[in-house]
């Protein structure tokens, strides 16, 4: 079964649905099984929830439904109110009834719904998430929410597979939307809103702040957990540090080695294909940028224990992490989501509370904590705008229209999380507790 062909314009509302390859995307092509009562309950909950939100709803080419008082009833977006267009309401509700938020994402991939303002729509949904499901029904989350596959757990083997499925997609794909530094984490801008030409400097500002927090200078023995494409290691080596950086991504490792050579710092940087649990030695500074999200809650104790074990007396840890509210983290800790199925298998975003608890249990004290979630929203906006502007380049790399819709939804979904303040990003500075801590420096 293949859906009818469309122009595949990202975020468009043409009503034509994209072609979907059943070999690549079986769960997008195939409508899930869902009983009529379950679908009816889902439809009722969704319609009831949407009626309480500041957005417009349109079924196909039909008239706009504007249930909330005060929302203008014409098509003019002058008030910033986003529109949700359901091209196939029956399929949309059936997917949600069967698979919850996984179904919501797969419905978008299938072209069954669109929006004139995807980020705006998702921001409204994230801000008003409690309006979708009444409080008593949230207790029944386990009835409809899927459990995370055991194969996605962050074991030594599972972590390698999880990283491969995201970071080894294609270096060329990431280069299409990242800035020339190939930094795939939140930037720290000088001013907001940000302009595209400010992104590289903002990434360097973020990296330099982490290196400053960790006291990285000439002669520092630095361990980086999560190489990315090597930009942090290059900047640390330029300060005179001796860097060991570890990654599980072969594609990233290979390109990082080339970039390190091009920067002329090969003698100061060693790149190893190695799990954080396999690293030996003691280091003056340990830096890890947005890597903890891939570890998984079951392995957070191992992660923080490794940070402490690898820290020399007087050493410093600089950690950048995406965070979410603790109650939300607990509610989703065992849940298989659309993001974990299609984008980041095995991952879980921690809360500040969880980071503080796990680091303290491992013998680390947090001395500084900076949040800058608004900067991640801007980073993601710039990435998304670059990505959606290059559909032909994405196709030329072997990715199809369904992938493009998936990736656009991922970037927009993430941006909305930060704009709604459902998500934050923070830099933590940590030192060892007791006599091995900062006093020993």
Domain termination residue (choose one: 94, 122, 145): 145
Spatial distance between the Cα atoms of 128 and 420, rounded to a whole number of angstroms = 9
Q: Could you tell me the end-to-end alpha-carbon distance of the chain, in angstroms, rounded to an integer?
A: 65
φ, ψ of residue 90 to 5 degrees: the values are: -65, -45
**Residue 12 forms part of a structural domain:** no
Q: Do 247 and 376 sit in the same domain of this protein?
A: yes
Spatial distance between the Cα atoms of 221 and 243, rounded to a whole number of angstroms = 6
**Residue 355 forms part of a structural domain:** yes
pTM above 0.85, yes or no: yes
Q: Which residues touch 77 (CB under 8 Å, ≥6 apart)?
A: 83, 116, 117
- Degrees to nearest 5, angle at CA 23 with 21 and 24: 70
pLDDT at 11: 39
- Contact by Cβ (8 Å): 278, 394: no
- For residue range 228-276, what is the model confidence (pLDDT) as tens digits? 999 999 999 999 999 999 999 999 999 999 999 999 999 999 999 999 9
Q: Do 193 and 278 sit in the same domain of this protein?
A: yes
**Residue 399 forms part of a structural domain:** yes
- For residue range 392-406, what is the model confidence (pLDDT) as tens digits? 999 999 999 999 999
- Contact by Cβ (8 Å): 22, 29: yes
Note down the domain range covering 431.
152-440
Q: Which residues touch 393 (CB under 8 Å, ≥6 apart)?
A: 176
- Contact by Cβ (8 Å): 297, 334: no
Q: Do 56 and 174 sit in the same domain of this protein?
A: no
- For residue range 5-50, what is the model confidence (pLDDT) as tens digits? 333 433 343 445 778 999 999 999 999 988 898 899 889 989 999 9
pLDDT at 441: 63
- For residue range 313-356, what is the model confidence (pLDDT) as tens digits? 999 999 999 999 999 899 888 888 999 999 999 889 999 999 99
Q: Do 165 and 124 sit in the same domain of this protein?
A: no
Q: Do 132 and 220 sit in the same domain of this protein?
A: no
pLDDT beyond 70 at 65: no
User: What are the tokens at 60?
Assistant: 């196909």
Can you say whether the dihedral through the CA atoms of 348, 353, 355, 359 is positive or negative?
negative
User: What are the tokens at 257?
Assistant: 């080695």
pLDDT beyond 60 at 138: no
Q: Do 61 and 109 sit in the same domain of this protein?
A: yes
φ, ψ of residue 287 to 5 degrees: the values are: -120, 135
- For residue range 265-291, what is the model confidence (pLDDT) as tens digits? 999 999 999 999 999 999 999 999 999
**Residue 175 forms part of a structural domain:** yes
Q: How many domains does the chain have?
A: 2
User: What are the tokens at 59?
Assistant: 């079924």
Domain termination residue (choose one: 99, 118, 145): 145
pLDDT at 66: 56
Question: What is the CB neighbour count within 10 angstroms for residue 432?
Answer: 24
Q: Do 269 and 156 sit in the same domain of this protein?
A: yes
Q: Do 244 and 333 sit in the same domain of this protein?
A: yes
**Residue 60 forms part of a structural domain:** yes
Beta bridge partners of 115: 84
Q: Do 108 and 172 sit in the same domain of this protein?
A: no
Q: Give 335's DSSP letter.
A: B
Spatial distance between the Cα atoms of 224 and 283, rounded to a whole number of angstroms = 10
pLDDT beyond 80 at 380: yes
Q: Do 48 and 174 sit in the same domain of this protein?
A: no
**Residue 3 forms part of a structural domain:** no
Sheet holding 269-273, edge to edge: 269-273, 242-247, 221-225, 283-289, 311-323, 424-432, 364-371
Q: Do 73 and 190 sit in the same domain of this protein?
A: no
Domain termination residue (choose one: 145, 173, 198): 145
pLDDT beyond 90 at 311: yes
φ, ψ of residue 229 to 5 degrees: the values are: -105, 20
pLDDT beyond 60 at 72: no
Q: What share of the chain in percent tops pLDDT 70?
A: 87
- For residue range 166-205, what is the model confidence (pLDDT) as tens digits? 999 999 999 999 999 999 999 999 999 999 999 999 999 9
**Burial of residue 250, with CB atoms counted within 10 A of its CB: 0-12 exposed, 13-18 middle, 19 or more buried:** middle
The pLDDT-based confidence of 3 (bands split at 50, 70, 90) is very low
**Residue given tokens 């006093």 in the structure block:** 439
User: What are the tokens at 417?
Assistant: 């999380």
Q: Give 322's DSSP letter.
A: E
- Degrees to nearest 5, angle at CA 414 with 412 and 420: 95
Q: Do 405 and 330 sit in the same domain of this protein?
A: yes
Spatial distance between the Cα atoms of 216 and 195, rounded to a whole number of angstroms = 29
**Burial of residue 355, with CB atoms counted within 10 A of its CB: 0-12 exposed, 13-18 middle, 19 or more buried:** buried
**Residue 319 forms part of a structural domain:** yes
Region 291-317: mean pLDDT is 97
Q: How far is CA 187 from CA 170, 201, 382, 408, in A?
A: 22, 9, 11, 19
**Residue 21 forms part of a structural domain:** no
Spatial distance between the Cα atoms of 96 and 102, rounded to a whole number of angstroms = 7
Query: What mean pLDDT is reported for the chain?
Result: 89
CATH at residue 175 = 3.40.50.150
């Amino acid at each position: 079964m293949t859906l009818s062909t469309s122009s595949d314009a990202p975020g468009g509302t043409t009503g034509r649905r994209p072609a979907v390859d059943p070999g690549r995307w079986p769960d997008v092509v195939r409508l899930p099984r869902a009983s009529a009562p379950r679908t009816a309950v889902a439809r009722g909950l969704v319609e009831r929830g949407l009626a309480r939100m500041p957005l417009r709803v349109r079924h196909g080419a039909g008239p706009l439904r504007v249930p909330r008082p005060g929302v203008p009833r014409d098509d003019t977006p002058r008030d910033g109110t986003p529109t949700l267009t359901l091209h196939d309401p029956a399929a949309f509700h059936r997917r949600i009834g069967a698979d919850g938020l996984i179904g919501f994402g797969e419905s978008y991939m299938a072209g069954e719904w669109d929006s004139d303002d995807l980020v705006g729509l998702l921001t409204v949904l994230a801000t008003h998430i409690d309006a979708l499901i009444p409080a008593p029904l949230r207790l029944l989350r386990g009835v409809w929410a899927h459990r995370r596959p055991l194969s996605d757990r962050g074991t030594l083997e599972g972590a390698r597979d999880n990283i491969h499925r995201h970071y080894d997609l294609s270096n060329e794909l990431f280069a299409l939307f990242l800035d020339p530094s190939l930094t795939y984490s939140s930037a720290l801008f000088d001013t907001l809103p940000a302009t595209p030409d400010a992104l590289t400097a903002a990434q360097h500002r973020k990296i330099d702040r982490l290196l400053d927090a960790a006291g990285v200078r000439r002669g520092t023995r630095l361990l980086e957990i999560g190489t990315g494409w090597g930009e942090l290691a290059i900047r640390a080596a330029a300060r005179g540090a001796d860097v060991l950086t570890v990654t599980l991504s072969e594609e990233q490792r290979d390109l990082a080695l080339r970039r390190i050579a091009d920067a002329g710092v090969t003698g100061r940087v060693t790149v190893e294909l190695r799990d954080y649990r396999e690293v030996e030695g003691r280091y003056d500074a340990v830096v890890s940028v947005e890597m903890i999200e891939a570890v998984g809650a079951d392995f957070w104790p191992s992660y923080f224990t490794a940070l402490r074990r690898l820290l020399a007396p007087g050493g410093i840890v600089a950690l950048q992490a995406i965070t979410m509210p603790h109650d939300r983290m607990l509610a989703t800790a065992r849940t298989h989501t659309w993001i974990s199925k299609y984008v980041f298998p095995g991952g879980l975003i921690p809360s500040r509370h969880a980071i503080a608890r796990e680091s303290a249990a491992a013998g680390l004290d947090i001395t500084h904590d900076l949040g800058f979630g608004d900067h991640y929203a801007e980073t993601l906006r710039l990435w998304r705008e670059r990505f959606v502007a290059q559909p032909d380049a994405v196709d030329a790399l072997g990715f199809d229209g369904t992938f493009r819709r998936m990736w656009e939804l991922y970037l927009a979904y993430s941006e909305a999380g930060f704009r709604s303040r459902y998500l934050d990003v923070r830099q933590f500075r940590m030192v060892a507790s007791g006599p091995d801590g900062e006093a020993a420096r």
